[in-house]
Homo-oligomer: A and B are copies of this chain.
Amino acid sequence: MRVFSEGETVLILLGRKRFLMRLQRDQVQHTHHGLIHHNDLIGQLPGISLTTHLGYPLLALRPSLHDMIMSIERVSQIVYPKEIGYILLKLNVGPGCRIIEAGTGSGALTIALAHAVRPNGRVYSYEIREDMLRVAARNLADTGLQEWVELKQRDIATGFDERDIDAAFLDVRTPWLYLQAVWNALAEGGFFGAIVPTANQVSELIAALESSYFGDIEVSEILLRPYKPVAARLRPADRMVAHTGYLVFARRIEKALSHQSMPKGQISLEELTNG
């Protein structure tokens, strides 16, 4: 596993570009800065520097999960790593977890979930569109994580097959319609998360969560501000992603809570759950 071997996917940094490349004996990769001979990389250590046939230096590395997510084939707006990391923490994802996701989309979050639940967890990922599911399956296969994921082509309006799930994440247009299905699938106290692009959807979702036995509601945005990494001229990049979506998180609560039994005029469910 130490040196690059045939069939392995490597990350190439060349000029201002980063790209993934699958190593195949006797193959040649054409780039704007000249040719890269795959044979020059096979058998070398990660972190090796070479030059193209035109003499431009390149750097070859094993791609991280982050690199793979950023370079998957996209058929939809993906969940970005800046959000993925926070989602994993808020949903308490770790080895052994059983997670539901809908929709699968291009599979960016699916890949990160699969990576995190190994070796004994499982991701159940629902997607209604067959074309997207095909792309997600390809992207998953490229990462070698498909063994931990069950892809299901299904309209989640018909509910989820699983029960006692640790966490569920919805990246769909109307997540508020599926809260009962999520509640049924989650274990007691299970974690719910969603990403929606508009403020109107956040409002609809919060209102639905409050009337569907979910508590500890949190809404937040994650902004990543990249810098130009030049020691003598440190400064933020000129432009940044201003918005991918609002994140909404909540926990499943038990129906035993009787609104009627609350002390009148003292504290509302909203105050209770939003701490």
Q: Using a CB–CB distance below 8 Å, which chain A residues touch chain B?
A: 2, 13-18, 33, 45-49, 51, 54-59, 61-62, 64-66, 69, 81-82, 84-92, 94-96, 112, 115-116, 118-120, 187-189, 191, 197-200, 202-204, 206-207, 210, 215-243, 246, 248, 251-254, 256-257, 261-263, 266-267, 269-275
Q: Given contacts A220-B226, A225-B221, A233-B200, are A49 and B85 in contact (CB under 8 A)?
A: no
Which residues on the B side are within 8 Å of A253 (C-beta)?
47-49, 59, 61
Contacts of A248 in B (CB 8 A): 229
* Chain B residues whose C-beta falls within 8 Å of the C-beta of A217 in the assembled complex: 229
- Alpha-carbon distance A180/B253, docked complex (angstroms): 47
With A and B bound together, what is the CA distance between A55 and B261 in angstroms?
9
A54 to B267, CA, bound (A): 12
Q: Are A227 and B219 in contact (CB under 8 A)?
A: yes
Interface contact A14-B206, CB-CB below 8 Å = no
- Chain B residues whose CB sits within 8 angstroms of the CB of A89 once the complex forms: 64-66, 69, 81, 84-85, 112
Which chain B residue lies CB-closest to A55? B263
Contact present for B240 and A242 (CB under 8 Å): yes
Task: Determine which residue in A15, A59, A207, A229 has the highest number of CB atoms from chain B within 10 A of its CB, and name it.
Answer: A229
The answer for the CA separation of A51 and B262 in the assembled complex, in Å, is 8
Tell me if A49 and B229 are in contact (CB < 8 A).
Answer: no
Q: Are B222 and A223 in contact (CB under 8 A)?
A: yes
What are 10 A-B interface contacts by the 8 Å CB criterion? A18-B275, A51-B262, A61-B189, A95-B95, A95-B118, A200-B232, A206-B229, A219-B227, A236-B243, A239-B241
Given contacts A14-B272, A90-B64, contact A48 B216 (CB under 8 A): no
Q: How far, in Å, is A118 (CB) from chain B's closest CB?
A: 5
Using Cβ atoms and an 8 Å threshold, which residues of chain B touch A85? 84-89
**Which of chain B's residues have a CB closer than 8 A to the CB of A62?**
189
CA distance A165 to B227 in the complex (A): 27
Interface centre among A65, A89, A220, A224 (most CB of B within 10 A): A89
Interface centre among A14, A87, A235 (most CB of B within 10 A): A235
List residues of chain B with CB within 8 A of the CB of A262.
51, 55, 57
Tell me if B216 and A242 are in contact (CB < 8 A): no
Given A15-B267, A57-B272, A239-B240: A254 in contact with B204 (beta carbons within 8 A): no
On chain B, the residues within 8 Å of A272 by CB distance are: 13-15, 49, 57-59
